[in-house]
Structure 1
Amino acid sequence: MIQFADETTRPQVREMWKTVFGDPDDYMEVYFRHKYRDEATLLRMEGDKVVASLQMLPYRFNFCGREIPVIYLSGVSTLPGYRRKGYVRELLIKSFEEAQRKDVPLMVLAPQEEWLVGFYDRYGFAQTFDAGTEALPSLKLLLEKCHGDLHAAFREFNALFGQKDMTLQKSFDDFRAMVEEAALYDFPAKRNLTGMARVIDAQRLVSLFAACYQQKSFSIRVYDELLENNNALFTVMDGKVERKLPVDRSGLRDREEAAVDKKKPPRKPILATDVRELAQLLLGYHISEKGEPFSSLFPEKEPQMHFMLE
């Protein structure tokens, strides 16, 4: 059974975090005080025992000139002895449903180990953020510059990152947690993180892209093996998007379109992609490596994710 956490299951979630991740108690105190919320924590139960869980942390993300809600997946874990039973898959699918219910169009995460990139790829995530090679601005120096005034330091921090496109944003509460966590370890150097994104609502994201780049005109067929609503042909023109004909990989839809369009003048070829590549295209990730026509249609960006209490 899958359920949300509550005050009776919260201690088990914390104990499982300690068992699976082995984080120090002082770090866990900061994390669970600032970030953990029962209502954002999905649990897989066996009887009264929590055997797997994940947390859906709310953030904001700058996307195509707008700030949109996103969910950051954290603490995805299964107790030893209960693994290889598909429990994480169940939780991920449920988290997608919750994101749809909350009108959140995009999910992101930061895989802590390289093998997890392949694991999350199975569920429609794609790498869209690269690890940084240069240190980010020091939180310690920001605080010193502002004479310890946390609100002033946050304003300085927000001036650096608040307007950057394709960048995960931080609230003041996020910033306070970042500072407390960094202080535990004498403010170590931080860098951009390797990160992945998962499109939850393709139509909404493509519509925001179209509104931002009104001169763009193309049609793109998207395939998503897990979220049926994303299976569609999206036509972008004059800043708007038309969605039609769910994707049918058997080719029947292609024949239908050919029959319908037989009397219409020739048009540009329809592009085809899956939900993973769609995330990369919309976020502008390594577009130059994809070649034409994608490199002409989708601007190259540098998506950034950082300071995630890693």
Structure 2
Amino acid sequence: MKDIEQLKSLWKSLFGDTEAFISLFFHEVVRDENIRVLEEKGRILSALYMLPYPFRIWNQEVTASYISGAGTLPEAQGRGLMRRLLIDSFKEMERRQIPLSILIPAEPWLYGFYEKSGYATVFTYNQQVYPPKERSLL
């Protein structure tokens, strides 16, 4: 079993989510076999979560691995740790015969980072807000 308290602390420091969300995520979503970590001297420096995700392609369901919570402590960044974790996750997906890996970069600059590890942008989106129309009650 991975050090869940250390992983929760890493998550909170990187993403700033609430304790309630973090507890729910680790209790309901994360399974030990889907956690990938790199550590030094017992301290987790980098982690990602390979969440099983059923994906429908051309009327066929394919199990994908949704990469979530990928992050490295600021003082350990620039050492290639995340790239190593991604390569490790690709090998594990191959072992499990999972043909598809997906992720949604949280920041625009991450698109370039993930492209270097083999990901490609397959769709984009833009957000539009439609104000509600005034309705007469008569």
So what's the TM-score if we normalise by structure 1?
0.40
Equivalent residue runs for 1:107-256 within 5 Å: 107-133=101-127
- Which residue of 13, 17, 39 corresponds with 2:11? 17
- Which residue of 20, 28, 38 corresponds with 2:22? 28
Corresponding position: 1:67 with 2:61: yes
- Ranges in structure 2 where 5+ consecutive residues have no aligned partner: 130-138
Task: State the AA in 2 paired with 1:70.
Answer: A
Deviations 1:233-273 (A, max 9, x none): xxxxxxxxxxxxxxxxxxxxxxxxxxxxxxxxxxxxxxxxx
- Which residue of 74, 80, 95 corresponds with 1:86? 80
Q: CA separation in 2, counterparts of 1:43 and 1:105?
A: 22
How far apart are 1:45 and its partner, in Å?
1.2
Q: CA separation in 1, counterparts of 2:26 and 2:125?
A: 26
Structure showing greater radius of gyration is 1
Runs of 4+ in structure 1 deviating by more than 2 angstroms, as ranges, are 129-135
Deviations 1:15-71 (A, max 9, x none): 100111111112212222221121100010102111111000001111122101100
Conserved? CA contact 1:56–1:74, under 8 Å: yes
Task: State the AA in 2 paired with 1:77.
Answer: G
1:290 is aligned to none
- Ranges in structure 1 where 5+ consecutive residues have no aligned partner: 1-5, 136-310
Task: State the AA in 2 paired with 1:67.
Answer: E
Identity over aligned pairs, percent: 36
1:48 is aligned to 42
Secondary structure of the residue aligned to 1:81 is: helix
2:52 is aligned to 58
Root-mean-square deviation (CA, aligned residues, Å) is 1.4
Q: CA separation in 2, counterparts of 1:70 and 1:44?
A: 23
How far apart are 1:131 and its partner, in Å?
2.2
How far apart are 1:134 and its partner, in Å?
5.7
So what's the TM-score if we normalise by structure 2?
0.87
Conserved? CA contact 1:60–1:68, under 8 Å: yes
Corresponding position: 1:37 with 2:34: no
Q: CA separation in 1, counterparts of 2:75 and 2:102?
A: 28
How far apart are 1:82 and its partner, in Å?
1.0
